[in-house]
Amino acid sequence: MFDYGNAAGTGGAGGDAPRHLRVTGGTTLSGSIDVKTSKNACVALLCASLLNRGTTTLRKVARIEEVNRILRVLASMGVHYEWIGQDLRLTPPERLDLTRVDADAARRTRSIIMFLGPLLHDYPEFELPFAGGCELGDRTVEPHMVALRRFGLSVETSAGAYRATVKDRVDPPGTIVLTERGDTVTENAIMAAARFPAVTVIRNASCNYMVQDLCFFLEHLGIRVEGAGTTTITVHGREDLDADVDYAPSEDPIEAWSLISAAIVTESEITVRRVPIEFTEIELAITEEMGLEYARGPEYLAENGRTRLADLTVHPSRLRAPLDKIHPMPFPGLNIDNLPFFALIASCAEGSTMIHDWVYENRAIYLTELNRLGARIRLLDPHRIYVDGPVLWSGAEVTCPPALRPAVVLLLGMLRARGTSELRHINVIHRGYEHLAERLQLLGAEIESF
């Protein structure tokens, strides 16, 4: 068994202690594995719990470092939280103490920016540390400011912090057109609208999985939300939310695709259960055109009663490069977080594949680290790579890049590589995956922690 640290102190995610993995590759995997609940949905719901004066219970929360960091921030503000098995119960204080925010934890997560929407309702002035997270180049916060200014929020940045002030009287926002169809931007706008006592229409909204879970959660709190799953979301806000709410977020489509990619790269037959099929259909369609063979079971509903799930059995397949480039798009397009796995998949396919990561400045560069394992990836510019395949994989020692998905891509590549590989400083993987190495081991992967 792996030592991931004390579960109570670190959420079972390993904390910040450096850890490394030794992988003996070339082993065929087999068996079945369940997809855990969504990292991004859980983080959004933790932020949304600040809207509620009652107790919020979230079911089957993934014990990952990103969740732990948000919990540290919430606790420093006075929120009491308790793990009950895999469930998480949060009880707010009478009034939050925003003078003692855990700045270290806040700066390690970009999700802290989603505190702005909930906090503007009760605090005319407050300060939050700058958002952090993966090192993926500049990601402007201006779309958040454009949306939240309509609710009276203005923000100045100085000394590594956001300094927020809120106007006393604000006209109803009416219709807001987001300048970016981003997930966190949409979530911030929805949370701001939830406690604004008027009807707010949000256009150019993200309709991605975590946004849908947020909308479903708010409905449990008594907020009427129309248009979840579309690009126009209408929120009928209420000034006070005080309810004991119990909600189960849906499964994580990025983890689902990670596990499917593990089956593809190792040429294994694996059943991935509880796949949120609506949010992986484009990825499946692309790989099916590349020659992937898989079986899809009947659909059923997640515990939230809304998200469609299915079990997928991936079969060993002979792949060919796609005719067109692979690039992400807002949902229902290929998910930006699933794009890195196609560098791995394309390395197993016959021919050349162009991958265009137009969102992030640096992530394509990190994917060239697969070359250490034998991949043939050519960097065209900070956003585009050419991948030639198939390749002869071989073991190597590699340090994790400071970005979650490229780090996991390297781990999965090592499962294919002949010989022994070492993946060093895997803390970034703990941000978004709970016991990933151990769960792969249960499928037959030869991995040890050191």
229 with 171, same domain: the answer is yes
Report phi then psi at 183, rounded to 5.
-70, -55
330 with 367, same domain: the answer is yes
- Is residue 432 within 8 Å of 254, Cβ to Cβ? yes
Closest by CA to 40, choosing from 240, 344, 372, 279, is 279
In-domain check, residue 18: yes
pLDDT value, residue 447: 97
pLDDT value, residue 256: 98
30 with 56, same domain: the answer is no
223 with 267, same domain: the answer is no
In-domain check, residue 415: yes
| The token pair that represents 95 in the structure block | 């009034």
19 with 57, same domain: the answer is no
pLDDT value, residue 132: 55
The residue behind tokens 């997930």 is 183
- Please give the Cα distance from 208 to 183 (Å, whole number): 7
What sign does the CA torsion over 390, 392, 393, 397 have?
Answer: negative
27 with 99, same domain: the answer is no
In-domain check, residue 384: yes
| The token pair that represents 313 in the structure block | 């059995």
Residue 55 belongs to domain spanning: 39-243
350 with 292, same domain: the answer is yes
- Residues whose CB is less than 8 angstroms from the CB of residue 314 and which lie 6 or more positions away in sequence, other chains included: 260, 263, 264, 268, 269, 270, 271, 272, 292, 293, 294
Given 215, 243, 271, which residue is the final one in a domain? Answer: 243
128 with 257, same domain: the answer is no
What b/e string do you get for 357-394 counting C-beta neighbours within 10 Å, with b at 16 or more?
A: bebbbbbbbbbbbbbbbbbebeeeeebbbebbbbbebe
207 with 306, same domain: the answer is no
85 with 25, same domain: the answer is no
In-domain check, residue 1: no
Given 200, 224, 243, which residue is the final one in a domain? Answer: 243
The C-alpha angle with vertex 315 and arms to 339 and 434, in degrees rounded to 5, equals: 50
- Please give the Cα distance from 406 to 137 (Å, whole number): 14
User: Number of folded domains in the chain?
Assistant: 2
pLDDT value, residue 111: 87
In-domain check, residue 206: yes
pLDDT profile of the chain (450 residues), mean per 10: 32 56 97 97 97 97 94 97 97 94 88 94 90 50 90 87 88 94 96 97 98 98 97 97 97 98 98 98 98 98 98 98 96 96 98 95 92 98 96 97 95 97 96 95 96
Residue 225's alpha-carbon distances to 39, 193, 230, 302, in angstroms, are 22, 10, 12, 20
How many beta carbons lie within 10 A of that of residue 299, not counting itself? 12
- Please give the Cα distance from 9 to 7 (Å, whole number): 6
Q: What is the CATH number of the domain that holds 274?
A: 3.65.10.10
263 with 168, same domain: the answer is no
Cis preceding linkage at 93, omega within 30? no
In-domain check, residue 126: yes
Residues in the chain: 450
47 with 196, same domain: the answer is yes
- 325 burial level (CB within 10 Å; 0-12, 13-18, 19+): exposed
In-domain check, residue 2: no
Given 198, 221, 243, which residue is the final one in a domain? Answer: 243
Closest by CA to 307, choosing from 335, 338, 277, is 277
pLDDT value, residue 108: 85
Q: How far is CA 245 from the centre of its chain?
A: 23
| The token pair that represents 271 in the structure block | 């059943």
Residue 335's alpha-carbon distances to 87, 124, 283, 343, in angstroms, are 27, 37, 8, 14
